[in-house]
Amino acid sequence: MLKSLLIIIPAHNEADSIKNVICNLFENGYSNILVVNDASSDDTALIAEGLGVKVMNLPYNLGAWRATQAGVRYAEEQGFQNVITFDADGQHLGETLSQLIKIGNETKADIVIGSCTQRGTLSRHIAWTIFRTLSGVGVQDLTSGLRLYNKAAISVLSTKGATLLEYQDVGVLLLLRTFKLLKVEVEVPMKKRENGKSRIFYSWGTVAYYMAYTTMLCISKLKKNKQQVIN
């Protein structure tokens, strides 16, 4: 187990699954959990508080990535050495975290991505292939929310530049590449979503927006350097 590890779970109306997700983490020996309640209108925060984990309540809906970033910024302020981002919809399994931590320790990577390339439909795989080629980040599962970040990655992700991003996927990976952080990917099993839909792959409209947005992001961030981000 890693020293001072915080597990960040961004949650927006996940009352049906949050209990199982947290209990699953408890069963696997992880107790330092922060649920970032992204202005849920259901009992997500109450359930999480009832289970004794930290709950951060955002005053209004910031979206999955900015909610995660709120947790990352908290981790930075509190001096955590590592954070793991974990989905609240029951897709990720607590059992797989030890794999991520082990790989992180062995490779000394700044980011370890838990990827599951078996999941997703054909259209999602086509999207991944396009963005992998366009962005050149070389990650198989671009949209995976299961990631381990170390101190260096935490400080990059806490910056203002990262607040501008919409999703925790290509944009974040491009930002981390700009800062020359080392990333590795590890294949892990994932469950099918217990309920709810992906926030990205929600409807044809959101998919079209996501595709266009990410394409633009990939093209506009070509050959960007560190200095340009800081300024």
Asked whether position 204 contacts another protein by CB under 8 A, the answer is: no
Residue 74 or 167: the one with the smaller Cβ distance to another protein is 74
In the bound state with another protein, the residue whose beta carbon lies nearer, of 69 and 82, is 69
Smallest gap from Cβ 163 to another protein, in A, equals: 5
Q: What is the largest CA-CA distance in the chain?
A: 47
* Residue of 78, 77, 56 lying closest to 11 (CA atoms): 56
131 lines the binding site for another protein (CB under 8 A): no
Q: Considering the rule CB under 8 A, would residue 77 count as an interface residue with another protein?
A: yes
The one among 1, 3, 41, 60 contacting another protein by CB under 8 A: 60
Q: Is 55 in the site for another protein (CB under 8 A)?
A: yes
The Cα–Cα gap between 183 and 176 comes to 9
| Strands of the 54-57 sheet, one edge to the other | 54-57, 33-37, 5-11, 82-85, 147-150, 111-115, 183-187
Q: Binding segment for another protein among 1-9, 52-60, 84-92, 107-115 (CB under 8 A)?
A: 52-60
Tell me the window of 68-76, 146-154, 182-190, 208-216 that interacts with another protein (CB under 8 A): 68-76
Query: Which amino acid type is present at position 7?
Result: I
Task: Quote the CA–CA distance of 72 and 88 in Å, as a whole number.
Answer: 16
Residues touching another protein: how many (CB under 8 A)?
A: 18
**22 is a contact residue toward another protein (CB under 8 A):** no
CA dihedral for 117, 172, 94, 39, sign (positive or negative) = negative
- Closer residue to another protein, CB minimum distance, 163 or 206: 163
User: Does 11 help bind another protein (rule: CB under 8 A)?
Assistant: no
User: Which listed residue (57, 99, 140, 206) binds another protein by CB under 8 A?
Assistant: 57
163 lies in the binding site for another protein (CB under 8 A): yes
Q: Which is nearer to another protein, 24 or 163 (CB)?
A: 163
| 136: CB partners within 8 A, 6+ apart | none
C-alpha span between 58 and 40 (Å, rounded): 9
Rounded to 5°, the CA angle 31-49-91 comes to 60
Among 66, 92, 147, 183, binds another protein (CB under 8 A): 66
Q: Tokens for 17, please give them.
A: 């699954």
Q: Which residues bind another protein (CB under 8 A)?
A: 36, 54-60, 62, 66, 69-70, 73-74, 77, 160, 163-164
